Structures are given as C-alpha cells and as structure tokens.
Chain A
Amino acid sequence: MTQADVSPSSGGGSDAAAPVIGVRDLDHEYRPQRGKPVLALSNISLDVKRREFLALLGPSGCGKSTLLYLIGGFLPVQKGSISVNGAPVVVPGPDRGVVFQNFALFPWKTVRQNVLYGLEKQGIARKEREERASHYIDMVHLSGFEDNYPSQLSGGMKQRVAIARTLATEPGILLMDEPFGALDSQTRTILQGELLSIWARSPMTVVFVTHDVREAVLLADRVAVMTARPGTVKAIVDTRFPEGMGAEEIMRTREFTERVDALWGMVRSEAVAAGAGGRA
C-alpha cells in the first residue's frame, strides 16, 4: 500500500511537492516558574503543503495554539524540529504572518497606521506602502475607517484590521490563532466567508487554530484533530470542497454536515478527556 502511493512522478522532489512547513517529532513542555513542567505537546509530526489550508482542531488546553506559536517562532523549539521552506524556525519573521484572537492592534495607531507598520518595517517605499495599505484596507471592507482608532471599532472590524495588517506584508504563510473566537456568531460567519474568498483570490499556506468543528470543516483543506493534553495529532481528515464554492453553499451540502458529525465524534471524546464534558 505504501509502495503504491509513491508514484514516480511525485518522487522527483519538485518545489511544489515539498512541504512548506515540516514539523518533526516535536515535544514541548511548559516550564512554569513554580511547580512541575507540563508536557503540552508530544511527538507531533505534521506537514503543511504549499497553499494548503490546514486547521488544527482540538479541545481547549490541547496545545494547538502552542504548536502555532512554535511555528511562528514565538516560543523556542525544545525537542524535535520545525522547518519553514526548508530552514529551521528560530525567530518570528515576515514570511509567517500572524493573526491572534485578541486582535493585537496597536491602540495608539489608527487603522491606516496599523496596516502601514509592517510595510515600514519591510522597508517598502512610501508610495507603494500607501497603495498597499489602501488596497488591503479596501479588501477587508474598511475603506472610510482609515483614520479611526481601534477603540472606535467593533470586534469584527478590529479583526479585519489585524487581517489587513498581516496580509499587507504579503506573507507566504498565514498563522491564525482562533481569529474569530472572540466574535459574535453572525460576525464570525461573515468573516469566515470573507477569509475564504480572500484565500481563493490570493492563495497562501494557512494554519488555522480553532476549537469550532464547523469552522474547521468550512475553511480547511485538511483538519488535524488533536488529543487532550499532552497534545498529539490523533487524525488528519481531508475536508476539501471543490474550488469556487462559497461558504453558504458549502454549509448547505450534505457532505458538510456529515464531515462535521464525523469530526465532532473524534473531538468530543478528547473534549471529555480534557474535562469539558459537562457541556455536551
């Protein structure tokens, strides 16, 4: 079986076939100042292909965000390895854009200034900076709000700013840490649809952390289901829908419901193990 899978054409080592992100035998311990270290991730191996949308799905506390922070270079790799485009991850970099659940906007900067910040750090010429900022602000439908401060925006608008700020630097990889987790369900649905259409137009490699099964099935090509702590990859499930299908359309299909049910079955047992069982 494994023999048959390795077809001669894919063995050539072409660029497109090589994983953009490669995680190998990764363990990670939290070492609190007091008390014993806690094993957060155990024996994770995972590949993310170019322009793939991968969701990390699991109960809270399973270490899925930790895995994302490690890929981002925000936490040091302790054991095992992570490579991005063939090079080991050491520090954060503009090749890996990141969007956090709490938006992480600079509250002293306006919408435009927030979006410009990364472009300034990239040393992009002023004229192009301005154009790109306008383009991405427009893409997330915030034209007219350029001079507003984050405190004057709703949660959904804040997350749009954060997405525009990250996309503006045009990273090859987008890391999203429960980006819609702090939003009300209507706003979340709208932003999910927008993310899908943005991704369809400018395909990036996306790693998307969520505990929402429907969100994972709707957005991702593949879903990596993680176990309760210590987090391991329990299964990787293909959830790709044909290209060009919008969010509404996907959610009306029978496959969508079936895949959500199947994944929920896997996640539920982990959620119970993580101590969240009371909520059914």
Chain B
Amino acid sequence: MSAAASLFSRAAPLLILAALWEFVARAGIVSPGALPALSSVLAVFAGEFSRELFYHTWLSLVRGAIAMAFAIPFGIAAGILIAWYLPVRVVLNPLLQCLYPMPKVALIPLTIIWLGIGNLSKISLIFVGALVPIVMSAYQGARSIEQTLLWTARSLGARESEVLREVLLPAALPEILNGVRTALALAFILIVAGEFVIANNGVGNLINLWGQAGQYPAMFAGVLLISAAGFAVDRAFVALSSRMLAGRQS
C-alpha cells in the first residue's frame, strides 16, 4: 500500500465523521445549539473570535509546557531515587500510593486556597497530575532492570553515580517515555479543567464563557482547537520517543 493510500485509510473515518456531523446539523436532525454545523465551527477560526481563541489557547499551552518542564525531570529523578534508595522509598512510596488514585481535579479548590487564582495554582495542578505517572514509570523502569547490567557496569569500573546516570536511567527510558506520554494526556485534561474553575483566561475559560453565552460555534471551535493541539503533541511525542529508542527494537 502506498503512503498516500495508507494516509487516506487512516483519515477516512475522520472524514466520514466530519461529513456526518455536517449533514446531521444541516438537516436539522439536532438543534444548532446542541451541535452547530462543522462548517460554522470552522468559520470561527477565520472570524471575529479567532484572535482571542488562538491567544488564549497559547496561554493554556504555555501553562502546560511550564508544568511539564518541571514534572518531567522531577518525576524521573524521584522515580529512580525511590527505586534505588530504600530510605527514599520508605518515605515517598506511601505518599505516591495515596496520590496515584486520587482524582487530581479534586485538588482544584485546595490550589485556589493555597495558591490563589493566578498562574501558579493552575501550573501546580498540572504539575502534580503529570508528576504521578512519570514517577511511577521511572520507578517501574528502574526496578525492572536486569541485575547483570548493573553488575557489568560496576565490574567495568563505573561508580554508583555513573551506574545511576549511565545505566539505570537509559535502561528505564522506554518505561519513562510511556509515563511521560500518559502525563501529557493528563496535562491536557488538567489544563482545561483547571481553567474552567479558576481562570480568567486560557482556552478552558473561553470554552466555559462561550458555552454560557450561547456562542456555540465558538465554543466548539475552542474544543476542536485544544483537541487538535493535544493530538499534535501526542503524535510529536510518539515520534520523538521512537527516535530516542532507535536501535533498541529489532
């Protein structure tokens, strides 16, 4: 199958869905309030709300990026140290076990009380949510390393800090990348959820405001845009991951 044909076969379900959406809305099967036509949603991107929409989506993405920029290194370091040092495990593991199943959106009121309604509370929320899967994956990855890899490194003369950096970390990398991918998806949820409640800007706030004001095409455009951003980030991350793991798969 050619590349064009394979691209088409993957895009076809989406195109069918888009056509169905347009048809259902145009034919009046559902009310335009519940589902505006796709064409009118897409028109928003060229219309009066366009600038506002892109600007606020940008603000949201920057928040997410800042939170991830902290969550990734902290999460990896924490996970590996938990796996490596018993005292760290004893202290941090119970905390992690509690945090793992907790719905992070439940922390929203708490972050408002502690950190106000500015950027800090939203970024912290995303940070905490993203941190958990990264820590877990780094921990699992480090725990599942083959003993003989560590022994080999030591017998070749590596010091403990070198064993951590040069053997344990790269050995755990496939697991860590899985964890970061999960964290990215969670981050998008928390970006929007946080902005619904505690923001005066950001795409989540816009979706909320436009929904309340009855600007349904604009609201749908906001949903579409942040979804597309989430999709693009995920695809880019998958591509980056397979590049980082190049050579490991046969």
Contact = CB atoms under 8 A, between A and B. Distances in A.
Interface of A: 69, 72-74, 91-94, 96-98, 100, 102, 104, 106-108, 110, 117-118, 121-122, 149, 151-152, 165-166, 169
A108 B165 CA distance: 13
A104 B218 CA distance: 57
A152 B250 contact: yes
Nearest to B157: A121
Given A108-B170, A149-B247, A169 B156 contact: yes
A104 B151 contact: yes
- Kindly list the 10 A-B residue pairs having the minimum CB-CB distance in the complex, ordered from nearest: A118-B156, A149-B247, A121-B157, A104-B148, A92-B155, A151-B250, A92-B154, A100-B148, A104-B152, A94-B157
Contacts of A74: 151, 154-155
A93 B250 contact: no
Interface in B143-174: 146, 148-149, 151-158, 162, 166-167, 170-171, 173
Given A104-B148, A104-B149, A117 B155 contact: no
Contacts of B248: 107-108, 149, 151
A185 B247 CA distance: 28
Contacts of B151: 69, 72, 74, 92, 98, 100, 104
Contacts of B162: 121
Contacts of A166: 156
B122 to A, nearest CB: 36
B145 to A, nearest CB: 11
B249 interface: yes
A117 B148 CA distance: 15
B153 to A, nearest CB: 8
Given A104-B146, A108-B170, A98 B155 contact: yes
Interface string B207-250: 00000000000000000000000000000000000000101111
A117 B158 CA distance: 9
- Between B149, B156, B157, B170, the greatest number of chain A beta carbons within 10 A of the residue's beta carbon is seen for B156
Given A74-B151, A92-B151, A121 B249 contact: no
B157 A118 contact: yes
Given A94-B156, A110-B247, A121-B157, 18 more contacts: A74-B151, A74-B155, A93-B155, A100-B151, A100-B152, A102-B148, A104-B148, A104-B149, A104-B151, A106-B167, A106-B170, A107-B248, A117-B156, A117-B166, A149-B248, A151-B247, A152-B247, A165-B156
A232 B236 CA distance: 58
A151 B245 CA distance: 11
B176 to A, nearest CB: 12
18 contacts: A73-B155, A74-B151, A91-B154, A92-B154, A93-B155, A100-B151, A104-B151, A104-B152, A106-B149, A117-B166, A118-B157, A121-B157, A121-B158, A121-B162, A151-B247, A151-B249, A151-B250, A166-B156
Nearest to A148: B247
A144 B83 CA distance: 38
Nearest to A177: B148
Contact of B155 (A97, A106, A151): A97
A72 B170 CA distance: 24
Contacts of B247: 107-108, 110, 149, 151-152
B157 A102 contact: no
A92 B158 CA distance: 10
A66 to B, nearest CB: 13
Contacts of B249: 151
A16 to B, nearest CB: 25
- Between B157, B167, B245, the greatest number of chain A beta carbons within 10 A of the residue's beta carbon is seen for B157
Contacts of A121: 156-158, 162
A152 B247 CA distance: 8
A102 B173 CA distance: 20
- Between A96, A108, A165, the greatest number of chain B beta carbons within 10 A of the residue's beta carbon is seen for A108
Contacts of B148: 100, 102, 104
A3 B149 CA distance: 48
Nearest to A74: B151
A122 B157 contact: yes
Interface in B51-96: none
Contacts of B152: 98, 100, 104
Interface in B164-189: 166-167, 170-171, 173
Nearest to A98: B155
A139 B247 CA distance: 24
Contacts of B245: 108
Contacts of A102: 146, 148
A271 B151 CA distance: 29
Nearest to B248: A107
A223 B118 CA distance: 74
Nearest to B169: A108
